[in-house]
Structure 1
């Protein structure tokens, strides 16, 4: 493109120079020729006037007297009746410009000038026009190069930006070029880069959340299935199968929740639910895992509390806290319920060493992890808690106490929910 821009600009300039240059050469050549002829005519008339005045005054008309009246490159012949011709200057060779003037006393004056003088003047004019044309061509080339760089460099940058987008690097460049059309393209590419970046972030977040959130129910489900394979008691098999079905339902809820959060992490489906049921469900799911580690999990506090939120999301938050205590804590894990103001609080604590002092509340960041962990469990748990208007906090670092705060105020009734759907 750069070469084409330079070539097209140079072609336009050359055409303009050719059209106007040739016209100017023709006009100047004619002007110089006419000026030379007028000069010769003027010289002949002037000499004739001088000769007339000397004849009328009975003065001598000789070559010595009139030689100074003729130009350096001119040749003059004066013919007076009854006298020999008087020649002034050197007679030119080749083609000449001449003119003959008649005097009042019958004399004639012929002035000649070599046409080479006209040729030299035309040549000098052509050199000047050629020099101007060359300067114009050089200026046009420099301008074309500058303009080509101004247009081709942005296009190269935009092509590189589009290539980076295609290769999975959605960082916007926020670079503008002072050309409205190119700046518009850059705006569109930057907007696309930001959208692609948000989409990739959402996809990566969904993958990370899924890898963490699905692991817990799958682990619990596999443990239930192991219990079934290790027993021959039909009642135990039935009980464990029912728990496994509950785990499958919870796993389905986890998947739906993850997909919902990937589209809009603030889209909640909060309802009023019995908090005891969710806690007891978690205790039943995690007791086998704690027994295998020689530890216990218990609950205490205020009973029959109703909270507002999504039961599946609350179960996932508690599961993340319980698993965190299993992996990083020690001793007995306790789930305590209490009421503060208009909120129901579930505290999860254990007898382990707690959260390192250098982490503190940074433990909820996605890239922060205690040890041998993905570093996303508590971050996902906090997102789930906040999705329905709750919050998850670290109340105490040593021993660790995490608090899940849930509103007790029922969600506002939406009148539109009772209206029939209009099709």
Structure 2
């Protein structure tokens, strides 16, 4: 709109100024035309009277050198008009002079009318001010209309953006209100349909996981009965304890799939208590397989921003990999230390064959497993690092963000292998 206004108002302003100049020059020309008949007749007395009665300064230069009317010198325009016999309009310092030669019997009489500069621009300033005010009013009106039109589009878009952010934050009940142009209403409907579809898929997935976990209870019950039927009491107790651990893990999976996910900001646990509990559990199995366990754990609580179940599952996955993919008798170490900048660092190292090349990919494993153990640990930690020392073996380093300080009553995660 501003460009259109400039395209119209600027030429119009120039035209207004030109019209004002033409009007002033036209009045001067009319005055001169009223004097021309007398100048041609050579009547000096009549010329003196009519020249003195004009509102525009008029000077008549007679052939004998006499000057009538407003005092003025013979300017270059006057001399040129007298020589060529042509009418001229010449710009001078005081404005514009209109010069008309009149050829008579006695010689050439030159009539000069001076149009002051203020007469050339009379009314131009006021006209320009009106044009500027009109342009400003039109621009403001255009802004108002554009704002209303834009609000009809940006409002629904902002709502769609807010709903998408809520969905990304796991608020699957968020829905967009269809509004705005038909295209935006269609997008809102598609977003609502997507949110509903996500809810359906998550509910189905949770039920499938819960059903699968529940189906595991039957073989676990059979395994428990088989363990109780063993003749060796010590062996029976050990197998029954392992079956109970698996049963508790299955129960935890069922409970986790049927409850809302815990946000990372709310998750918190004592890393010292959880790691100490899990190392103690795996130390019994390490003793049975002839593995030396080296542990270096703090003696004070170490709060970290991760749920106890997730931290325990991550450590169980790493230690389970050691038992599954290294020969019996391979020693390993577990180190938990506070980080000066806040949080904790958990390091699990072994002296086995190291990582296969594909171990960094989720679902890939060179040892006949599911390949999800490292991914479980990776998702639980703020950062995850795998190292292969030159001396052999594997080192896994997990970094956890600092959690809320506790009073030392944080319970370790449910025991599970």
Q: Structure 2-normalised TM-score? A: 0.40
**Bigger radius of gyration among the two:** 1
- The answer to which structure has the higher helix fraction is 1
Q: Structure 1-normalised TM-score? A: 0.40
